[in-house]
Amino acid sequence: MAPKTQKKTKKQIIHEAAVRLFRDKGYSATSMRDLADAVNLKASSLYNHISSKEEILKNICFENAQRFLAGMEKVEATPGNATEKVEALLRLHIRTATGDAASVMAFNDEWRHLTEPLLGEFMALRKDYENRFLAILNAGMQAGQFRDIEPTIALHTIFSSIRWLHDWFQPGKKLTAEEVEEHVVRMLMKGLSAS
């Protein structure tokens, strides 16, 4: 078993170095050579572990898509009204932004660099997530819990409103991740609420 564990660890190191490079230089400007240098490997050895930088981008994008879809499934399966469901999803978005910033940055900004058929598959997962989120927003409006806001506008306002946290939040600064989460939730959930 030892060699298999060893290899998995190396792959993980490469993955983490790539996430940092994508964050700092952008996906397009990151070369396999940059990545090899970052993990002290020759470019030729790097190919023993990964086939391309797109393989890493694919992993980042699909892992994040699965994280959000798993969160959605849990929320859908849990009893509760639309307010509780939206708040649970909002907290998942915020925690992901404060807890896994580099990954979120690649997910937000760099998914466009996926090529087909990956791009289409990724966009379908994303659309599925958005549609299920919209269904919860619609339910909350019909139940009179949320104000009369065009659901598409509410959805994108929520998504967009936290798309600075991953860049700004630093552990150990003035506010903890929990405090940041409470302030953002307070502002956005109140904005939706009909009461």
Contacts with a copy of itself, residue ranges (CB under 8 A): 147, 149-150, 153-154, 156-157, 159-164, 168, 175, 179-180, 183-184, 186-188, 190-193
Q: Minimum Å distance from CB 169 to a copy of itself? A: 10
Cα-only R_g, the chain:
19
Nearer to a copy of itself, 19 or 137 (CB): 137
Nearer to a copy of itself, 28 or 115 (CB): 28
Nearer to a copy of itself, 135 or 191 (CB): 191
Nearer to a copy of itself, 41 or 165 (CB): 165
CB under 8 Å to 158, separation ≥6 — which residues? Answer: 86, 90, 93, 188
Neighbours of 158 (CB within 10 A): 19
Looking at the DSSP bridge assignments, the partners of residue 193 are 146
Q: Minimum Å distance from CB 50 to a copy of itself? A: 26
Nearer to a copy of itself, 62 or 159 (CB): 159
Neighbours of 19 (CB within 10 A): 21
Q: Which helix (H) or strand (E) holds 72?
A: helix 53-77
Residue with tokens 């903890």: 176
- Rounded distance, CA 63 to CA 146, Å? 31
Q: Minimum Å distance from CB 83 to a copy of itself? A: 14
The answer to whether the CB of 140 falls within 8 A of the CB of 84 is no
Coil, strand or helix at 193: strand
Q: Minimum Å distance from CB 193 to a copy of itself? A: 8
Q: Minimum Å distance from CB 161 to a copy of itself? A: 4
